[in-house]
Amino acid sequence: SLNDVQIVADIMAKKNDYYASMLWVFYYTGMRCEESMGLKVEYVDLQRSSITILNAVTVSGGVRQEGKPKSEASSRTIPIVAQCRPHIQFLCDRAIEKKSQYVFVGEGRPSRLAKEMAKKPSKREIHAISYSTWQKALSEAVTEAGSQGVRYFTSHILRHSALIQLLRAGYSTSEAASFAGHSSESMVRTAYAGLIPNDLSGQADEMSRR
């Protein structure tokens, strides 16, 4: 719930303010972790309120592998809602200050591209925070929030929360699928059947009026 996320965000903000902003971006965009770790500042258009997903990152043995998103449908544009805007702005400004092209940059240099393996650490580019570092920070904060009644959740569950918000706001399953980067709306219908209204009387009345 929004209240749970707020409690965890407050806990994370006490340790690192950028962790809290990362949490809110996950909550309002529904991005996959591998998409967020590959998100570059140039892909965020604050004037048009949009985030474009063009690549994804996986890390193995401390080496980053950058490639295309999970599927063709995963390459998409996500709208930036007003609640998310200050957080994505903060992260972009912070990345620019640290001279990193990646939005979700951490404090250190957690991983390297394969082509950088032979370089000295000082010559490496500053990449996005690693998934393991982020997941550890989130897990610790959520565990601490348990004393306030917060149920345990992960970044993937935050992705589900974003889709639930869309459906509750009245968006169609096809719109929700496009937002999440699913190739078909059938996955949305299957996973969130309880949130999809079965009463079509409103639509019927509107069709009759027209």
* pLDDT per 10-residue tile (average), the chain, 210 residues: 90 89 91 87 91 81 73 82 92 90 74 49 62 87 91 86 80 80 76 62 72
Whole-prediction pTM value? Answer: 0.78
Q: What's the pLDDT at 68?
A: 80
Q: What is the DSSP string of 43-57?
A: GEETTTTEEE---EE
**What pLDDT does residue 23 have?**
92
Q: How far apart are CA 73 and CA 167, in angstroms?
A: 19
Mean pLDDT estimate for the chain: 80
> How many C-beta atoms lie closer than 10 Å to residue 195's C-beta?
14
pLDDT for the residue 198: 58
